[in-house]
Structure 1
Amino acid sequence: MKSLVFVSGPSGSGKTTLLRMITSNRLPQQGTVLLPPHLRVVHVSSVPAFVKSMGLYANLVFGVVPSPDYPIYANQTRVLKILERLKLHQSWVWQSTLEDSADAVPQLSAEEELADGEEEPEGQLAIEDMPDTPIPSEEAWYNRMSRSEAKRLHLARAFIASPEVLVLHSPLSDLDKELAQDLAVLLREFVEERGIEMDPKTKHRRRRRTVFFSEKHSKELEEMADFTCALGDPLDIKLTARDKSREAGASWWGCSGP
């Protein structure tokens, strides 16, 4: 079941706890949380984190383990398109990603690259085609990031991995209004298209995507989401659906008080 689930509520209402239970980072004191073992679940915290011993590109494709699907998810062209969608194509991030990518992608056979019926990735983009924004060699990439850039790179990594279940803590915070709106559109697209910047011809072969994300209460987000789980007092947890006919279908994950 594809769904965009908005978890809202004031500070201290339990949004973080609920999302941690979905990703098994925290066990409930009562009851059980069950997730189908065949679904990949990616948790994106509100605080960006990176592996400083690795290059920027390697960080972006981190977790997309080398496999027949590696070129589909982590090829340079798709990574750069996702960065562009997050408005990172006019900064130093773009060229740094290009410079790092040549050594980060494993060399696989043609048979592996065409596995699962996906088309071969488009040609690599050359550094000379990009804006001339050289990076000072004495300054590490992780020291150059602004708070907004770090947040968007953190989110780009999740979109690149393209899990079946994506759990996001406050993804719109620390972003200006325009960037927050762009990201909201990407979350909707991620659910509807079963991934970002994926081949539309293979959409029917990909599993459905579900996104859980937390933010402060917002009428706009409530109208965008398929379901809203509003937290308040522990005895006052309310589930609503944008399409009322779908409320009964939410029982697979549920949202109720003790």
Structure 2
Amino acid sequence: MNIDLGGRTAIVTGSTGGIGYAIAQGLAEAGARVVVNGRSTGSVDSACERLRSAVQGADVMGVAADVTTENGAERIVAESGGADILVNNLGIFGAEEPLSITDDEWRRYFDVNVLSAVRLTRLVLPRMIDHGWGRVLNIASDSAIVTPAEMIHYGVSKTALLGVSRGFAKAAAGTGVTVNSVIAGPTHTGGVEDFVYQLVDLSLPWEEAQREFMRIHRPQSLLQRLIEPEEIANMVVYLSSPLASATTGGALRVDGGYVDSILP
């Protein structure tokens, strides 16, 4: 496939590392102007430099902003000049005993995992509709469908994100703008390594710890390994392209066969 995103601006939230950084790199390789986002100037500048080194001629800018706030969301859109592609990747997760999750913690997960995506979509969608072209992609999780007992608050927030995607896709119906979710399965990132070690023996070497985690906590995975961030990015780049013009309102799985269902 020849995917050319030249002339398109892509905002990727939470893109200084992990899945977000891989998505930013994939979009840059496809020719998009990429806006890297994180909360600290240092992490954003570092990620931009890494991208410029990894992708020859990459058009990259960084905006340090907390998009869980109205001011932060408005600033990233204003400084980037708007977006043709919005990837709502920012998210938090962690294991917690279900009956110990407080109201404040529930609110925090919804503020970060759901409302940040709603807010940014609301800001960029009118311009996309006016231009007759745009892509909004929300990075969801297998936990949206298979709610894990050790992080119910995370799973439910990602379930809500699937509904957000479908609703905004209806709002953009017939305009040339598509809105989709990407259901990411268990993925190998620094944060996930920390999470794995919350659930398995800390003394285990990483490869053994990963196998133990998948065996005990994610046994239904058909891939039987953690997904690499670049594998998630490949789906996002395709959905961001003109080639995916007939795919909207969907929840597309890059889950390694984790969800035991033909449809999401």
TM-score normalised per structure 1: 0.29
Which structure shows the higher helix fraction?
A: 2
Larger radius of gyration: 1
User: What is the TM-score normalised by the length of structure 2?
Assistant: 0.29
Structure scoring higher RCO (CA < 8 A, sep ≥ 6) equals: 1
